Structures are given as C-alpha cells and as structure tokens.
Amino acid sequence: MDVEVTSQALAAMRLAARSAHPREACGMLLGEGGRIIEARTTANVHPAPETHFEIDPQALVDAHRAARRGGLQVIGYFHSHPTGDPVPSITDRAMAAGDGRVWAIIAGEQVRLWKDGGSDADAGFTALSYVVTER
C-alpha cells in the first residue's frame, strides 16, 4: 500500500534540508487518515545538529494539542542526512520510539519513507512506497 504525500510536503522537506545544510533538518509530518498533507519544519535542538536531530519538544506538544482540537494529526517525522543516504542510520534505529509512525529521510533531493517498527523492537524500519498528490 502506498502512502499519499502532497507535493507541497515533499517540497517543504527538501527546502528544509537545503536550508539547514550542513546540519540536519527536522520536523513533523502532519495529515489525516495516514495521508501526509504537511511537513512542518521545527528547530533541531540537538547539541550536535551536524550529525543528529531532535525535534523541538514544544513544537511536538503544540502539534498534538492542535490535533486534539481537530487539526492535522502527527503522522510521523522527517529529518535529513546531509552527508549520507536516505536510509535509517544506526543512530536513527537506536533513537526510534517504536511507535509505528512514518519517518521521512531526505538526502540531497531524495526523500524516502520508512515505518518505525512499532511495538516489536527487533522489527526496525520498513521501507514504504508513496505516491505524490496535490493537496
């Protein structure tokens, strides 16, 4: 099954990655019904942003509050690999929440989607295919 991603969300992720380079960009994937409508860039608050990312916790809290009030749901997260491939790194695997959410990883202009392994910690990440839609 393909995940639907708007062209605007893909463009926003690519722009965030270019703008943050050589640091890692990061943010949230927002949508409804598993469809990714928006990629919202957040501050990378990790002390070593050249090689790691940490989404601003207040941005996450705000997004979840907005979702509870009827806004877009937090479908997942995105970050860039400025000098790597768009695949989960050893660090990504170690830091994954195991919550089954979608991760988008950007390297250059490539964007790949992954599903966090869910409750099975040994499952790791599973590659997802996606189709681009307009809004």
| Active-site residue set | 24
Distances from the Cα of 5 to the Cαs of 25, 90, 112, 128, in angstroms?
Answer: 19, 26, 11, 12
Residue 40 near residue 9 (C-beta atoms within 8 A): no
Token pair, residue 82, equals: 């400025």
Question: Which amino acid is it at 26?
Answer: C
Cβ neighbours around 98 below 10 Å, total:
13
